[in-house]
Amino acid sequence: MRDGKLLSNGMKMDLVPTHQLMNKCGKTREGDNDTNDSFHPSRLVLKEGSSLNFKILEGGDVASSNVGIVSRQFEGSISDPSVGLQRDHLKRDVMGKMYPVRPADIKDGGNGYDTHECRESRDNLEAMENPKITGNSSRVFDVLSGLVSISGVGLDQQKRRVSVSIAEASKKKNVASAPQSVTYDGRSLIVNETYVFWNIHEPVEGQFNFEGQYDLVKFIRLIKEHDMHVIIRLGPFIQAEWNNGGLPYWLREIPGIIFRSDNAPFKAQMQKWITKIIDMLRSSKLFAREGGPIILAQIENEYNTIQLAYKELGNSYIQWAANLAISFDVGVPWVMCKQYDVLIQWYINTCNGRHCGDTFPGPNRPYKPSLWTENWTAQFRVFGDPPSQRAAEDIAFAVSRFFSKNGTLTNYYMYHGGTNFGRTAAHFVTTRYYDEAPLDEYGLQREPKWGHLKDMHRALNLCKKPLLNGVSRVEKLGIDVEARIFEGPGMCAAFLANNASILPITVKFMGNDIYLPAKSISILPDCKTVVFNSQSEFRTITDFTQKELSWETYKEVQPTFDKLQLKSRIPLELFSLNKDTTDYAWYSTSLGHALVGFVNGKYVGTAHGNHVEKSFVFEKPIELRAGVNHITLLAMTVGFPDSGAYMEKRFAGPRSVEILGLNTGTLDITSNEWGHQAGLDGEKVRIYTQGGSHRVDWNKLKKNRPAISWYKAYFDPPKGTEPVAVRMNNMGKGMIWVNGKSIGRHWMSFLSPLGQPTQSEYHIPRSYMKPSDNFLVILEEEEGVRPEDIEIVTVNRDTICSYVQENAPPPVNNWEVKANKFRFVGDGKTVSQLKCPKKKKIVAVEFASFGNPIGSCSSFIPGNCSSSISKKVVEKRCLGRGHVKYLLIELSLMTRNLILVTIH
């Protein structure tokens, strides 16, 4: 349906042609030439006692007289000048708001609409506009070896984006170079997919960093030590909600450069970078052909989402990039992610999304495997977002469906969450990244997602022989119900899908009655026995381990116009001023994504945009004195953009600055001479390190807590091995350092629609800490905060839940395939299982109910046939034990059994 598509979240979104997806556009606004160059903001002279309003518009407004609308965004995008804003370019977003669209901003172009829902709408659109290509070819791809194994391995990823895959071997023969070392030893995941981050490995042109946590070769070898494989994503553009999409800032300063286009300066730098990485990997024998773990490689990333913005230069660039990669002859297949029209004989087109079993049209040649390179396990968060979650059942349904439709590999993005340490997060993205993944930011198992997917992986593994060697067919079992069957001599596996979203159904299949819950898939490794159904958590923070730390403070010095060395007629552009070395810059007036304002040294206020609308108006009443008045602003960015066309032309910073309420009317001081300073004095002396902290005079904490202040304290790490975090109670916005290492931005004052901060706890890796006297430094932008309320806490998942349906099959580990025979090895009883982390036991039962209780872990409501003694019965069985299998038949349950317990 071209006019509309019902998405999985129930929202009906209008679909428009690919070049008109939901994105805003921006034009630069030239400085006002009718200005008084002799007027200085530092020499504003008024009569004594004047009081007026102070108004600042932050950068990147879009104004167009021929459409009569103004759209403000923090970063302008100077794109193809031939593309104008005409009335037929106006579209409505999902909230009904009008916005202009142009090809130069196909993929989120700074407007924040590139959510997974938006990505999925593109998946649906592309499935309609790019039908499956069929045909014959003699080329056989050397692809992946192995199907699925069981139970994931968590790696300490530090700053590396890592997602993990389950893989099915190619169904084609003559797989000459496929690795032969895969074993099925009880692990769920056998492939790690990882980016290569250009901007952390070459932050300054020609100066490379592959040491410590940036040691790429060591990281890939570590994966091999765990008998796993690697998909290497070389970029150079990666997106990944990462600062500047992984591109180093210094590229912007190369004359004439246009990112990701058939542009000689960009191609020269890209070729130099890719060559260096390929040579490094090849010399270390990390590709499969040399016995290494890398079995698949990617260059570029989702380029088709912006390709039309560059017209013929986009087409020639992507073909050049494809030929560049092929020229290295690394001996493994290449992908680009969602690129359908480039060197078809050499590249495997892939799918990114939530439901690629339905949205992906399939490989564009019959000899290619079907690859799902990004299966989003959650929604990444930006500051100001409320909590969100993707259900384990939905992920399991999607993966099962994909493999039932001849899928070869699915990659979870992310399987293990992480932390955006330092300034690595893209604009407004939280420091915590994909915490709702099966393994969260701290590496803790997030149930039921982790356990449910583990069981699904085991079930798929039981089907590996018919999946690899069987012939597939589809059998309709009713409306919205189908069986996808893989069979051959002595083998058969089936996937029974109930695509109805409301009603369960019992179907007759191969002589057996099979119960299918609503919107579910059942897996039958022998076409007779249901071992898994896709339909069949909660982290807690302990009480503080350290509070009431001994705090000291240092107030950042506010520079005035005459003290700032860098001068210009108009305020300088913020990205170019800071060069991605700091979030902060002093002006005598201006903005970035946010700002703090002072007049004559007095704090006026703060303001900021958000991920969707970066621009904002800062308007505050001020008091001016007779004589000279000083206006000082601290402008700041909250990360660079991570996607969109013409990224090298994004800008932030000053838009206009006006003094309102004068007897003579409004005074525009935008184009008067300004002074600038990139960064704070505290940053320059490295006040967050032990050595640097001695270069300033610290004071004891007082009642007055001015804006732009530094706070320091010492703490001892909590005992044990549990993850550690700092809880930023009653703080505002700023940065956090532990022993000189930045653990990221904090932003407690930006509340979600639920009235709570998006993130309150910030991860302190134990590898960052010493046995005692750890040096904690906070940069706080806002006034009136209470650092004495900050807590050092440990993190655990000491609340666990379990639920099971009456018709659910027994646990999947009741079956095995041995000597090519499927056999039963368990007791056949349907159970609800509770398992504590190592060395812990159940100490309390908080909830136990039966008969369709509703809610989620920690917030259940009793079901319709619950008993007053159910909690006591469960306590008798569970207390003091670390692992419990709760038999359904013992409790005579009707439909569903849920147990919530606290463990210790």
**Burial class for 332, CB neighbours closer than 10 Å (0-12, 13-18, 19+):** buried
- SS3 category, 54: strand
Token digits of residue 658: 């006006």
Residue 764 burial (CB count, 10 A): 25
Active site residue 302: yes
* Max Cα distance, the chain (Å): 97
Of these residues, 302, 482, 556, 781, which one is catalytic?
Answer: 302
Beta bridge partners of 192: 164, 230
Of these residues, 120, 168, 374, 393, which one is catalytic?
Answer: 374
Distance CA 503, CA 530 (A): 19
CB 832 within 8 A of CB 804: yes
Rg of the chain (C-alpha set): 29
- SS3 category, 190: coil
Distance CA 471, CA 458 (A): 22
**Burial class for 758, CB neighbours closer than 10 Å (0-12, 13-18, 19+):** buried
Token digits of residue 664: 């003579």
Residue 291 burial (CB count, 10 A): 11
Distance CA 460, CA 407 (A): 12
| Angle formed by the axes of helices 312-327 and 264-283, nearest 10° | 20
Name the residue among 790, 765, 777 with its Cα closest to residue 421.
765
Residue 552 burial (CB count, 10 A): 16
Name the residue among 811, 805, 835, 808 with its Cα closest to residue 825.
811
Residue 415 CA, chain-centre distance (Å), reads: 11
What's the sign of the alpha-carbon dihedral 352, 355, 360, 366?
positive
CB 499 within 8 A of CB 481: yes
Token digits of residue 698: 């610290």
Stretch (H or E) spanning 318: helix 312-327
Distance CA 604, CA 629 (A): 14
Residues with active-site annotation: 302, 374
